[in-house]
Structure 1
Amino acid sequence: MRKTRILLAAAVVAVTLTGGLFAASRNDNADAAIGGITWQDEFNGAAGAPIDASKWKFDIGGGGFGNNEQQYYTNSTSNVSTDGQGHLAITARKENPSNLQCHYGTCQYTSGRILTADKFSQRYGRFEASIKVPKGQGIWPAFWMLGGNNWPATGEIDIMENVGKEPNTLYGTVHGPGYSGGEGIGGNRNIGQPLSNAFHNYAVEWSPNLIVWYLDGSEYFRVTPASLGGDQWVFDHNFFMILNVAVGGNWPGYPDGSTQFPQTMLVDYVRVSAWTDGGTTPPPATGGTALKSNFSGRCIDIPGGNAVDGARLQLWDCNGSTAQKWAPQSDGTLRGLGKCLDPAGGALTNGTPIQLVTCNGNPVQRFTLSAAGDLVNVSANKCVDIKDWNSANGAQLQLWDCGGTTNQKWTKA
C-alpha cells in the first residue's frame, strides 16, 4: 500500500515561525513560462456517470493510508461520478452498518480517491483545478501529486489541502527525503471565510528548482532547493495527480456530532499546461504531418505530449499539436517529438501495442504509409490497427494482419 502524507498543521506553522522555511526572492530562480494545455478533464458526463477511465484510475481500500484515516475508498459511482452539471463529485458517506473492512476493523465511511498514475504524468508546467471543497470536522479534501511509488524518495507536491477544523485555510506542501510527514515544507493562506462557500482555483507552477503555489491566481507560497535546509530536491521528474476526500486522520482529527454526511467535493475542471524555458531550449521539431484515421476521424497522438519511452500511442481529436506530427525519415522510421513509432518489446505478432521509444536502429521501427492508406510495419508486414474498433478518444493502437478494413486506413492531415 502506498504511503501518503502525514502532514501536521502545527509542524508547518512551527517551521514558518522559526525561520526554517522561507520564500525565495523572485530573482533567485526563473519563474515557469507556461505553454499550451497538455491534459485536461472538464467532467462533462451525465449525472451519475463514471469517470473517464482513459484519464483516471481508482485507489481502493481502507488501510488508513499511513494517516489513520477512517474511510474505505471505492470505485462506486455513489462515491465518484460526474454530476451532469460539468463537475466531478467525490462524496464521502457514512455507512451504517458497513461490512467493508479497514485496518482497524469495520469501516464507517466510504469515499473516493482517483489518480492519473499509468495514464498521465508530466515534469514541470502548471497544474490547476477549480474545486468547491466539502466541510465539517474530520473532512480532509486534497488535490496533490506523487512522483512515484517510493514515497518519500520520489517526492510529493500537495497543491490543495484543507481540513474541516480549519475551514478558512488552504495548505500547500512538499514532501521528500528528510522532510516528509510532519516535517513537510509548506505554506498556507487564510481567506477569512470557509473555502467550502465557493469554487476556487488551486494551482502550482513548477519549473526547474522552483515550485509556486497560487489561490485564485494570487501567489501565496514558493519553494526552492534552498528552502529544504540541505535536504535533497526530488522535483525534477514526472509526477501524476490525485484527487480524494479522506475522513479522519492524525491531522484533521475525526468526525464528531457536528459533522454532517454526505460531504461532496465538486471539481469543475483539472488542467495541465506545458512548461517552456522562455526560448533557451529549441522546441521539438514541428515537421511532419498528422495521421488521421479514416474510421474515427481522430489522429495518432502521443498522450499528454509526453515523449517518454514506452508511451502507448492513442487516437485523439486532431488538434495540430506537435504530439500529433509524424515525420518519415530516410532510415524508414516514423518520428514524433524526436522519438520513433515502435512495436512494444520488438514483437511482431498480432496484438502488439504501438508505442513511442527512443530511435535505436532496430529494423522493427520501420513503418511506411502505402498508397492505399495502410500504415505498415515493414519487418512484420502487418498494419497499424485500431484495437477493438474503438472510435473514442484514447483508443489504443496495435499491429494486426492487414485486412483492408477502415480501422487500418490512415490519411495525412
Structure 2
Amino acid sequence: MQESGVVAGIDWAAELHAVCILGGDGGVIEHFDVTHDSQALRVMVSRFRKAGVAKVAIERGDGPVVQVLIDAGLAVFVVPSRQIKALRTRYGSAGNKDDRLDAYVLADTLRTDGHRWRPLREDHPETKALRAMCRARKDLVETRVQVMNQLRANLELAFPGALGLFSRPDSPITLAFLRRFPTAAKAAWLSPARLDRWLRSAGYSGGIAAQTLYRHLERAAPGLDGVEAEARGEITIGLVATIETLSAEIARIEAQIRKLFDAHPDQKIFASLPRSGMVRAATLLAEIGDCRERFPTDDALAALAGASPSTRQSGKHEQTVFRWSCNKKLRGAVMDFANGSRLGDEWAMQVYQRAIARGCRHPHAIRILARAWIRIIWRCWHDEIPFSPQVHTSRKLSAA
C-alpha cells in the first residue's frame, strides 16, 4: 500500500470497537464504531482504503481485528493500554476512560510519534514451521492417550492381567506382549520358564524377574473366553498397531522439532529455562513467536496467555475473575512450563507453595507462578539473552 499521512486508531473492545481516522494535518476525517464480526471488520478495512489509511494503532497485537488489518497490508502498531492511560492527560482528559477519545489518542500519537515505532509483523517462516510441528505433535499425543484409554477399557474386560504388568502401558515391551498374547487364553500357555524365554527374546530390560511378572498374571482376575474373547483379542491387536504407528509418527515429528528448534535464533533463550526440555521449550517459543512488537509489555503477554485475571467494573463495583478469553494453545504451553519448573527450580517451588499456603488451589497457584515466570521470560525474550539464575536474581525476587 502506498505511504500516506492518513492514520487510524482503534480502541479495541470485546463487542464494539471505536475507530478514528485522522488526516496528515491532525484533523478528524471520520469517527465510527465497528462491531466484532467478520462482515463489520471487512467494511472497516474498506473505509480505511477509501480514506487512504496506511497506518493503524491499536491496543493489542493479536486477535481477528489485527489479523484483518495485516491481511489488508496495513502497517499495524501496538500501543500498550497503560501508555494510552498516560497519554490521555496530554489531550486534556482527566484520565477517565472514553472509547472515542482513546481511538483519537491512538491515531494522533501514531501520527506524531509513529516514526519511532516498529510495525507489527508476522512471525518468521521458521517460527511458523516450528509452531505447526509442535501443535501436530500435541494432537498426536492426545490421540495416543485416547487410544490408550480404549485399550485399557478393552483389557479390563478381556485380559485384566495385562494391566500394570509393565511400568508403562505404551512401552515397546507392553505392546510386544499384547501383540503376542492378546487374550487371557493365549497368556495361559505361559509358565515362569516360558515367560522368561519370551522376555529375553523380546529384549526386556525392566529388571523385574519373570517369576514376579508371572505371579502378577496368575493373581489377576480371569479374563473372557470364547468368541467374545477372540473378538476382543482382535480389538487389542488393532489398538496396539494404532499406538505403535502413532508413537513412530510422534518420534519422527520430535526429530523435526529438534532440528527446527536448534536452528532457531531464540533457541538459547527458551532452552535455558529450568526443566524446559526440548519439546516444552520449543512449544513455548513457537506459541509466543518471534515478533517482539506483538507484546510490548509483559502484561500483554500474560493477558493473551491467560496468566493474569480479568477485571470487570460496573460503576463502583469491581470484580476480578478468571480470564476465559485468551490464546488456549499459548496458555497450555505457559502453564505446562510453569508446572514443570517448580520441580527443578527452588524459587518457582517457593512461589507455588506460598500460593498454596494462601489457600489457592493447584490450578490457581500454577497461574500465579506462570505470571511470575512471564515477567522473566518476556524480559529475556526482549533482551534476546538466555535465562540465568545468577543474572536474574533480582528480577525473580520482584516477580515473586
**What is the TM-score when the length of structure 2 is the normalising length?**
0.23
Q: Which has the higher strand share?
A: 1
Greater fraction helix: 2
TM-score, L = length of structure 1: 0.23
